[in-house]
Amino acid sequence: MSDCKILLFIPSPREIPVFVNTIREIKGYDKLFVRYYPELEAYEKASEWFLQETSGKYTHFAICPDDLLFKQEDIDLLKQDIEENQYDVIQGYCKNTIRQRYDWTGRAETVDNADSNLSWVLPPNPPVNGTYDQFQFLSMKFLDKYKEDFGPMIKVKFAGFPLTILSRKVIETIPFRRIHCCIDSFLAFDLAEKGIDQYADLRVRIVHIEASDPAKILVGKRTPTVEFERDG
């Protein structure tokens, strides 16, 4: 078992009160809030800060988007996974909310057909031209059965940043990138190309808030900031 020190990176293009209240309750981890920057610039600034910071000696970089609700036990369990198994990429999972978007026009979601954010295949390339069905998301019911039959750990090709934690090795070797969209998809491509496996812990089920309405985005409306908050 090896100790890890995780920095929570919180990209915040919005102000979602329930998230603000929830993230305040997370203890034991330093936090880096990158507010109101364009998406890629926010990720670049955070990864650069992570790599240059020496006093914290962080071993891992957790992506905590501002539309994702998780509990103390979720992040603590993922930390335990890392310390016991040295995962380079580990995350939770959540129900996929794409079919709840304000602009969704496809097949309606039901309890029986609800999908997760996890997939055993890489996204279409480029992802901006892909369809929902091409992502081949694993259904929530399938994951319940998988956990029952095979245990909580599942190897995936794509996850969509459901409290994704990356090792320092990943941050050092794979820069964040996007073409029109989809930093999560391009990370999946780059991890696969470098032979770095990613896993999800099915005990860590978190909540993704549907917050895609462009009117909620404050980028360009408020002054961007980078704010570090040390635990305690």
| Residue 224, φ and ψ in degrees, nearest 5 | -70, 145
Q: Where are the alpha helices (DSSP H) in the chain?
A: 17-24, 39-52, 72-85, 140-150, 168-173, 183-193
CATH topology of domain 6-94+154-229: Spore Coat Polysaccharide Biosynthesis Protein SpsA; Chain A (3.90.550)
How far is C-alpha 210 from the chain's CA centre? 15
Q: What is the pLDDT of residue 117?
A: 96
pLDDT (tens place) for every residue of the chain, 232 residues total: 568 999 999 999 999 999 999 999 999 999 999 999 999 999 999 999 999 987 668 999 999 999 999 999 999 999 999 999 999 999 999 998 877 776 667 777 676 778 999 999 999 999 999 998 999 999 999 999 999 999 999 999 999 999 999 999 999 999 999 999 999 999 999 999 999 999 999 999 999 987 667 778 999 999 999 999 999 7
Angle between helices 39-52 and 183-193 (to 10 degrees): 50
pTM above 0.85, yes or no: yes
Q: What is the pLDDT of residue 13?
A: 95
| Residue 8, φ and ψ in degrees, nearest 5 | -90, 115
Q: Are 195 and 86 in contact (CB under 8 A)?
A: no
Q: What is the pLDDT of residue 1?
A: 52
Q: What is the pLDDT of residue 97?
A: 82
